[in-house]
Amino acid sequence: MIAYEEALKIVLEKTKPLGNEKVFIHQALNRILAEDIHADRDNPPADNSGMDGFAVRHEDIIGASEDNPAALKIIGESKAGDLPPKLEKGAAIPIYTGALIPEGADTIIQKELTKVEGSIVYILKELKKGANIREKGGDYKAGDLLIPKGKRLRPAEIGVLSSVNKATVYVKQIPRVGIITTGDEILDIGENITKESQIRTSNTYSLYTQVLETGAIPTIIGFAKDNPEDIKEKLKWAKNCDVLLTTGGVSVGEYDLVKDFVSKELNVSIHFWKVALKPGKPVAFGTWGEDGEKIFFGIPGNPVASMVVYEILVKPAIKKMMGYQNPENKIFTGILTEDFKRKSADRLEFIRAYVEYKEDNFYVKPFTKQASNMLTSMLNANALVLVDIDIHQIEAGEKVRFIFFDREI
């Protein structure tokens, strides 16, 4: 059995980012950029006004004040999108935010500091030469690197892509993730329950939506009974996927066939099976495909183990495939609000908790129900607290490390 840290290291070493594809920028939200983005021209492309007001020559307004305004003759107009007229000595040109600075003008006086009477504008205050002028190239210059490849595209990046005239952009591809649910006792939604021993699936749909939340493309391949024919049949359909997830059938039971069958049928090389982890100990990981570019996780059947293994091992791998440069979960520190005790301390445990932010600290309330078959323990949780090997007890007030799996609760 290997340590969780070692398992995560192997997963991230063996998992390779996918190739690139071209998408329309408005469909590129949260995708990872696969090309450097350079400016196509200066921004602003020419000096322009930062205010609505009047374009003047500074020498004409020296000493202007409310008591001693400078009187200038109004000529022409400079609107955003138009080419402005030339500014003569002793004159002022009405100008609007974003409009080009007329030749001869060197200062913009905002409307609030002026008074208009007929064709004369009175300037009520001297501003510094150059006031309210946004300089050509003040934001960036043609050719500047604006967004380096590897960045995740958020609305701000998409806006910049549009402003440099990109309709499409190269991003990393998204993996297709196939899910096979195994177990004789497992029924899909809608199937008739005929025996007490039958269990309605939860893992199929929690995994499906966890994959969606990560931004990848989930597919339910199907439900396989614990027999070779059924498993082989379902595995045939896995060939079109980049990631294969199976749930159930990975521990040591006689019917835990998954690991052996993926090795035989899909030529998966298993890199580890069993991690000193709670919940999720029997998790298996492997690679397959022509160059080992596809990955496989055998996820334990217990519903909490399935969700936790996804968060702490599968999600980082899928994010690596998607091109994320830091695909690991971010670890935070908070203060435990209630004592936590456990009998056996031979595995790193991820315990369900509710984290709240108050008075500059994260406060972490651990839940009492921690059994890995009780999915309801996930319902009010928004975080997983890491309890290290050999730690039997943590007292209220002590600092703990945790990861968020939901920031919205």
Angstrom CA distances, 165 to 17, 22, 81, stand at 28, 15, 18
From 48, 173, 203, 329, residue interacting with ligand LQZAQKY5 (rule: CB under 6 A): 203
Cβ at position 306, least distance to ligand MOO in Å: 8
Q: Which does 256 bind (CB under 5 to 8 A by kind): ligand MOO, ligand LQZAQKY5, none?
A: ligand LQZAQKY5
278 binds ligand MOO (CB under 6 A): yes
- Residue 87 CA to chain centroid, in angstroms? 51
Q: Nearer Cβ to ligand LQZAQKY5, position 56 or 250?
A: 250
How far apart CA 252 and CA 229 sit, in angstroms, is 20
Q: Which of residues 251-280 bind ligand LQZAQKY5 (CB under 6 A)?
A: 251-253, 256, 279
Window of 183-191, 213-221, 278-286, 392-400 that interacts with ligand MOO by CB under 6 A? 278-286
Number of alpha carbons in the 13 Å side-chain half-sphere of residue 275: 29
- Nearest Cα residue to 274 out of 305, 320, 234: 305
Window of 2-10, 241-249, 291-299, 300-308 that interacts with ligand MOO by CB under 6 A? 300-308
Q: Which of residues 131-190 bind ligand LQZAQKY5 (CB under 6 A)?
A: 181, 183, 185-186
From 44, 69, 102, 279, residue interacting with ligand MOO (rule: CB under 6 A): 279
Q: Nearer Cβ to ligand MOO, position 172 or 352?
A: 352
307 binds ligand LQZAQKY5 (CB under 6 A): no
Strand partners, 354: 365
From 353, 372, 378, 402, residue interacting with ligand MOO (rule: CB under 6 A): 372
Q: Position of tokens 């080992």?
A: 292
Q: Nearer Cβ to ligand LQZAQKY5, position 105 or 179?
A: 179
Q: Are 251 and 259 in contact (CB under 8 A)?
A: no
Q: Which does 47 bind (CB under 5 to 8 A by kind): ligand MOO, ligand LQZAQKY5, none?
A: none
Cβ at position 248, least distance to ligand LQZAQKY5 in Å: 3
Helix ranges (H only) for 183-314 are 203-214, 228-236, 258-266, 303-309
How far apart CA 391 and CA 389 sit, in angstroms, is 6
How far apart CA 370 and CA 307 sit, in angstroms, is 13
Tokens of 346: 């031979």
Tell me the site size for ligand MOO, rule CB under 6 A: 8
SS3 369: coil
- Residue 65 CA to chain centroid, in angstroms? 53
Q: Are 290 and 211 in contact (CB under 8 A)?
A: no
Q: Nearer Cβ to ligand MOO, position 335 or 403?
A: 403
Window of 30-38, 49-57, 208-216, 297-305 that interacts with ligand LQZAQKY5 by CB under 6 A? 297-305
320 binds ligand MOO (CB under 6 A): no
Cβ at position 198, least distance to ligand LQZAQKY5 in Å: 9
Q: Are 6 and 143 in contact (CB under 8 A)?
A: no
Q: Which does 293 bind (CB under 5 to 8 A by kind): ligand MOO, ligand LQZAQKY5, none?
A: none
Parallel, antiparallel, or unpaired for β 120-123 and 70-74?
antiparallel
Q: Position of tokens 């007890």?
A: 393
- Kindly report the backbone phi and psi dihedral angles of residue 377, in degrees, each rounded to the nearest multiple of 5, phi listed first: -65, -15
DSSP state of 331: P
How far apart CA 151 and CA 384 sit, in angstroms, is 27
Cβ at position 273, least distance to ligand MOO in Å: 13
- Kindly report the backbone phi and psi dihedral angles of residue 6, in degrees, each rounded to the nearest multiple of 5, phi listed first: -65, -40
Cβ at position 181, least distance to ligand LQZAQKY5 in Å: 5
210 binds ligand LQZAQKY5 (CB under 6 A): no
Angstrom CA distances, 103 to 106, 124, 127, stand at 8, 23, 19
Given the rule CB under 6 A, which residues bind ligand MOO?
278-281, 300, 302, 305, 372
Given the rule CB under 6 A, which residues bind ligand LQZAQKY5?
181, 183, 185-186, 199, 201-204, 247-253, 256, 279, 281-282, 300-303, 305, 372-373
